[in-house]
A and B are shown apart, each in its own frame.
Chain A
Amino acid sequence: MEEEHKEEQTEKSTEESKETTEKPTEETKVEEKKEPETPKEHKVEKHIEHKEKKRLSIKEIYDKQYKKLLIIPFLILLLAIFSIILKVSTTGDFINRDVSLKGGLTLTVPFDKEIDISALEIYLSSQFPANDVSVRALKQAGAYSGIVIDADIEKDSLEKLVSSVETSLKVTLGEEGYSVEVMGSALGASFFKETIRAVLIAFLFMGIVVFISFRVPITSLAVILAAFSDIIVTLAIANLIGMKLSTAGIAAFLMLIGYSVDTNILLSTKVVKRKEGTVLERIIGAMKTGLMMSSTTICAIIVALIFTQSEVIRQIMTILLIGLLVDMINTWIQNVGILRIYLGRKHKNAQD
């Protein structure tokens, strides 16, 4: 798959360079320097070329190799799609659902001492041999603040679960000493369907807004593709780190749709709609603003991740953090690459 992709890439760039050689603008400068390397047919030669390029600064690589750099986001996207397909074929589901999307019960107990989570889990599993019980610790700035127990048991067994926890922790919880969330399994499944549908509709709406505001198919598609890649790659990473998604987690994907495309919109507006400066200058300008936006958000998210004790907020923040990091690649490599190719062709057509 990878090889195919590279071939396609080389083909494209060959075409490109032929088309753009006569251009007097900065695009020409770019292509001229590329000229000697573009007609590459063999991988071996390519490698040598890479070594020669090492002397170039990052900025120059970013400026001149945008087509090659495009491989990175597309490769990540393909890997993500592949891992999700693999997940579906092995587990029949494309995410790990927690009890709020599957049905079952979540018990949250405030508890500030350090405990052996796995011992508690083993004990509870022995009490409920037929069920799937998992225990997590809630931490706030490194200190224990509580325990969360997820179990696919029915509501009738709640008392037994609470008393098992009490015996194991040697505490009495009382009626107000814990929170419990019970989700019927039919509702869990229907919630899952609902939220997925909400994500799809949100995505469609976002696409329409982008189309209307840019009115240029390629620009709009690039933004939509970036949002799509953000979601897919974030989903794959969430799966890889074993995150169990709740309804709030899916809501975080909705946030991601609205939030991560902001930098893409900034980029596309500046590069396509504005005229001052060179394309690269405009890209760098957008990037200064965009990276500033992402870094304030990421800093705030990290603070929240360290200090929050709410499982819901933690999940939302984790997904946003992954999403924003992924979005940096998708905006500043993928979207930039596509826009430059598009502008190059447009310029060529205009000259003809």
Chain B
Amino acid sequence: MHRIKKVFKNTRVIVLFIFILLAIVAIHPNPKAEGVAIRNVISNSSANLAGIKSTTPNIAPMSRERIIAVNNIPIKTVEDYYKGIGDLEPGRIVRITTNKDTYKLTVKEKTKTIELNETETKTVIEIVPVNKTINGSLVTVNETRSRIITVPKTKTILLGAEDIGLRVYKAPNTNIRKGLDLQGGTRVLLQPETKLDEPSLDMLLENMKERLNVYGLSDVVVRKAGDLSGNQYILVEMPGVNEEEVRELLAKQGKFEAKIKNETVFIGGRDITYVCKSADCSGIDPRAGCGRSGNAWYCRFRFSIALSQEAAQRQADATADLEILSEDNQQYLSEKIYLYLDDKQVDALNIGAELRGSATTDIQISGSGVGMTKQEAAINALQNMKRLQTILITGSLPVKIDIIKTDSISPILGEEFVRNALVVGLLAILIVVIVVFLRYRKLEIVTPMMVTCVSEVVILLGFAAIANWNLDLAAIAGIIIVVGTSVDHQIVITDETLRGESKKIFNWKERIKNAFSIILVAYLTTVVAMIPLLAAGAGLLKGFALTTIFGVSIGVFIARPAYAAVIEILLKQ
């Protein structure tokens, strides 16, 4: 009893326990975490409009918003969730209760507009410049006229309820991030065709992230990677999704087009010479401001861009004979300008009436954001603005990008693997305990040894949770090495100590020093063997190297000294 008390008073043991505590706080285990966690919110979906926010890849798993009920029916699994939102009708209100808030979503209609073979007439108001003689001199005045035009008749077909736009997954129980191997998902390795300098590469990455955001995929890791030969790679990891489309989107060079009446007016990057990002010419439109419409708030943003001469001329030609429509006291041309990203329409903007037929290079682009509150609408508007600005500045990606490796990992396999890995880990520990016990036949040795091994793994996992590492197969291999070296080093410590006992070396410091002189060299060889992997092979084995290096460091500097101290106290005669 006295000895056990002494063990817990030892500084090294106390340090170890502090680290274990910190690690547990970081891991934040909660086996009772309910519901399903929100991964992505599709932009402009009803969930997005109701104010549910998309997550970013950096957010800690336990801090993610979790859905715990849909229409007051508790949600326990992903299946429950899909059942809950399964048969929705357009216009119905869905109550989504999360651990943070309750949202009321209005289910949107899924519609499609088709042109019929008939035509209808429409009255439009237009402003026409007319030459008039006033007081004997010829001047141009704008005259408002109403005119009747013939347009093709359209019909809107209802396709049922639109998806509410949430992507969910099983709520995590800890802050440990599972890598793709373990949770399923898609990993794409891309390579720019020509080598880029650092700013261009950053720009490219920013551009790709923006594009993924356009698709509502914010929970995607996009990062630079390199190798020992100086090749550049871009690694994209999309957990949970298996969308071919997204994969293609990343590698597409990306063309941004603005079209009026199906004619291309300008192309992103090439035709746009300047995009204003400063406060005086971009931001919430001071004239239009924010307004309420029904339940929701709308805020308008605007920013100015400069077009090249040729693009300005094209715009003048395209708008020369458009009608002017009046709406909410503002005058627009009868055709909108449609913005396309890789042939997918991302926005439709009204063209101010004053732009008709003029070859201006300075034009203003506007749009809006929606939200439940004024503030939220403003934030959304600014976010949409930033996205559009990015697309307009970057336009196409600076170089062609090749997909050189894709892995898509089935979530079923991943889940099985985690269970399997736990079983294997436990069995391996058990067998090691048996072997060690057979050799030393002393519980005073076996127990601290196992506690040390387990605490090393716990501290390592805590580290991983803080540092945002993904725990994948490679990292598990790293943990195996850590535990392996841990047992080895503790055997060295034990043997040196016991040998000192039999040889009557009374200086305990000497015995421990002897053990650590071996351990330190062994430790250094393991660490330096892992260093090249930090840089090699597009960083795909970086996780393995990092886990191993950190794990053995924790072991050698925190846990194993504590083991030595405990052994010293328990075995001292």
List the interface of chain A (C-beta within 8 A of B). 108, 110, 140, 145-146, 155, 175-184, 186-187, 190-191, 193-195, 197-199, 201-203, 205-206, 208-210, 213, 247-248, 251-252, 254-255, 257-259, 261-262, 265-266, 269-270, 273-274, 276, 285, 288-289, 292-293, 295-297, 299-300, 302-304, 307-310, 312-313, 316
Contacts and interface: CB of A to CB of B under 8 A. Distances in A.
Contact of A299 (B435, B503, B517, B541): B435
B407 A179 contact: yes
B410 interface: yes
B485 A190 contact: no
B416 A309 contact: yes
Contacts of B411: 176
Given A187-B404, A285-B499, A296-B432, A201 B532 contact: yes
B226 to A, nearest CB: 10
A261 B480 CA distance: 17
B544 interface: yes
Given A176-B412, A180-B407, A299-B431, A205 B423 contact: no
A296 B491 contact: yes
Nearest to B432: A296
Given A251-B477, A276-B503, A258 B525 contact: yes
B488 interface: yes
A293 B439 CA distance: 11
Contact of B491 (A140, A254, A273, A293): A293
A259 B521 CA distance: 11
A61 B228 CA distance: 48
A255 B487 CA distance: 16
Interface string B268-307: 0000000000000000000000000000000000000000
A308 B526 CA distance: 25
B182 to A, nearest CB: 10
Q: Is the interface of A mostly helix, strand, loop or mixed?
A: helix
Nearest to B231: A190
A259 B228 contact: no
B406 interface: yes
B428 A254 contact: no
A195 B231 contact: no
Contact of A197 (B481, B521, B536): B536
Given A176-B412, A179-B407, A209 B521 contact: yes
Contacts of A308: 420-421, 424
Contacts of B548: 255, 258
B427 A297 contact: no
The 3 A-B residue pairs with the shortest CB-CB distance in the complex, in nearest-first order: A258-B526, A205-B528, A258-B529
A293 B410 contact: no
Contacts of B421: 308, 310, 313
Contact of A265 (B428, B476, B521): B521
Contact of A202 (B416, B529, B537): B529
B408 interface: yes
10 contacts: A176-B412, A203-B529, A248-B477, A251-B533, A270-B518, A289-B495, A300-B431, A309-B416, A310-B421, A316-B480
B529 A205 contact: yes
B473 interface: yes
A308 B416 CA distance: 11
Contacts of B487: 293, 296-297, 300
A110 B532 contact: no
